[in-house]
Structure 1
Amino acid sequence: MKTSNALGLLLLAGLSTGCATSYSSRPPLSFQDFDYSSPEGKPWPLQRFALSNTAAALGMTRVPEIAYVELNPEGQRTIIFIHGLGSYLKFWRYQLDTFAAQGYRVIAVDLPGYGKSDKPASFPYTMEAMADAVHELASKVCIDKPILVGHSMGGQTALSYAIRYPDDLSALVLTSPAGFEKFSRKEQAWFKRSFSTQLIKSAPEYGIWGSVRQSNFERWRPELEWLIEERVRVAKSPEFDSYAYANVRTVDGLAHDDFVRDSLGNITVNTLIVYGEDDRLIPNPFLHGGEARDVMMYGHEHIRRSQLVGLEGCGHTVQMDCPQEYNEQVLAFLKGLESGGSGK
């Protein structure tokens, strides 16, 4: 199969039949206009932070800023939520207020290139650089050993953080994480050759419906249609080019996961790996195929203090697809840590 056709099919994967709302005729929407609020409509207080140390380490001439929200700042234990590829902190919409209500200090970040954060072309978009950004944010807001909760790309970012800063976190929750699946050099080259900004920019609305709804969810419901609307309308904004470029660079960074795979044995904190058993994105459907459980089992077997939980009938974006079951599993794990157990 030609690579351009393969990536095109990936964007169009699982197109659903029947009627769907069209948003293509609606006016453009900027990233800064995204509605960051709870499902009940409660706005989240947005803050910005300059990545001075990360920029200096990377030799960047301009210091980028990242956006984040913080809830329940008086909480005794802090959770940092890290989103996945192509998304932003709003993808934790069913977790932030819930976990804050349980007494946790909750922080959710827009990684560089995503959401309301800056999208500099000079940022490398490796998972190690993403981890540096999260680590600098944690240091800035005076977090002592946060719990990291990462989805997909955010999971690989959290793994990089845990490997490189082992004394600066207390636990990991890896949600359908990237970083466990092995990619050969030829496969890494395939990603770099095939994935382009034009591919992202030219995706038709029906392709977005397919890639978002069918590739990421098993239990789609109408209340999630904001995912489609924001993606369709923001593609008309001037900032979308830099966002598309960030996605392309990030895909290359994700595929080069040898550092993480080879270093899983160095992770020392209690770790929960939770995933949807009907994940259609992990393992990669074009390069590998197979079952998500096999990939997740690799991580479980190589992280010494880990437990593995598969959620039946749930897709890749499991924290939104099956929020109740997901929250129950994660809260049980965290309560186990507080009682001095392993989190089980």
Structure 2
Amino acid sequence: MFKLSTSFFLALAAVTGSAVHAAGAAYGPELQGFKYPYPVQHFRFNSQGQTMQMAYMDVKPAGKANGRTAVLMHGKNFCGATWEGTIAALSQAGYRVVAPDQVGFCASSKPPQYQYSFQQLAANTMELLKKASIDKVVLVGHSTGGMLATRFALMYPQNVSHLVMVNPIGLEDWKQLGVPYRTVDQWFERELKVSAEGIRNYEKSTYYMNRWKPEYEKWVDMLAGLNAGPGQRLVAWNSALIYDMIYTQPVVHEFPQLKVPTILMNGDGDTTAIGSDIAPPEVKAKIGNYKVLGKEAVKRIPQGRLVEFPGLGHAPQIEDPAGFHKALLQALAQ
């Protein structure tokens, strides 16, 4: 069987990478060169016949320890680093906070071949927690991390005291609703065209509802630099595999099976929906409506509560950190 090696992708990237992002930063395939807000550790493990590593931050309580550990799961266009405000808020409130970068993302390994599934990523995370001697967690997942956190809670309910989903994607099944399928190769070609301008324009309209602040630029730089660095094609290939996982592996149908207290925290102005850019107009008009999706989803979760942030977008923890963290800590105290 023909196998794609890391060196193959890096050699191809050397031809094009410098031209793609010449005006901005270019980071390594594991985000080398980008500064994280807390020290980064690396968990080495074997998966699917490969040795790889997960980068993670493990932050001790800054306030009086409450004996609880929060695990933060990032979204598709986010990293552990983008949780910096939430890490600080939870740490100050007495939590130990662990924020990993999942395999395929950010500062973690980008395997040339990997069968991505939410089950596999959840199992990887469980191995990290075992290594860190962590048994019970408050699980907080944002965006794609909300789908992963749901899968983790379904697989390991005994290890989760609370599940918090922050503007999770996957509150609907896009393929069931008529969003066209993209092949991995089509996603790959799309991801090769990622640019700082495209990232910024998308985040302005969806994440921050056209309320752009200068401090958001570092997150644009993070993604654009990763996508334009020497690992460009390897990063794009893993991104394509991950998008295929997101589209083909919905978790919404299993919400009624959740056995842990669940808090759904939604910026209700969000319109995120995978494939909305190629969906027919009649399909596009009915997907990604978080003002409706949140209310519908929480009815299907046995121990579910809904916390809404009127008018906020896909990343309320970044758009309104003070309001979000106050609501998060209050919800976890109940």
Settle same-fold status: TM greater than 0.5: yes
Q: 2:41 aligns with which of 43, 47, 54?
A: 47
Match of 1:35 in 2: 35
**Cα 1:83/1:27, change in 2 over 3 Å:** closer
Secondary structure of the 1:149 match is strand
1:149 aligns with 2:140: yes
Q: 1:129 aligns with which of 95, 120, 129?
A: 120
Residue deviations 1:7-49 (CA, integer Å, cap 9, x gap): xxxxxxxxxxxxxxxx751352221211101xxxxxx121111
Match of 2:173 in 1: 182
Q: Which moved more, 1:69-78 or 1:183-192?
A: 183-192
Partners of 1:156 and 1:178 within 8 A in 2: yes
Structure 2 unaligned runs (5+)? Answer: 1-20
CA drift at 1:143: 1.1
Match of 2:244 in 1: 252
Amino acid of the residue matched to residue 309 of structure 2?
L
Match of 1:97 in 2: 88
CA drift at 1:68: 0.2
CA drift at 1:198: 2.3
Identity %: 25
1:328 aligns with 2:326: yes
Structure 1 unaligned runs (5+)? Answer: 1-22, 38-43, 337-344
| 2-structure distance, mates of 1:141, 1:239 | 30
Amino acid of the residue matched to residue 71 of structure 1?
V
Match of 2:71 in 1: 80
1:300 aligns with 2:298: yes
| 2-structure distance, mates of 1:125, 1:66 | 15
| 2-structure distance, mates of 1:168, 1:131 | 12
Amino acid of the residue matched to residue 32 of structure 2?
Q
Aligned length: 301
Amino acid of the residue matched to residue 150 of structure 1?
G
1:71 aligns with 2:65: no
Q: 1:239 aligns with which of 227, 231, 234?
A: 231
CA drift at 1:235: 2.8
| 2-structure distance, mates of 1:194, 1:214 | 27
The TM-score normalised by the length of structure 1 is 0.81
1:220 aligns with 2:212: yes
Secondary structure of the 2:70 match is strand
**Cα 1:217/1:191, change in 2 over 3 Å:** farther
Q: Which moved more, 1:279-288 or 1:324-333?
A: 279-288
Match of 1:119 in 2: 110
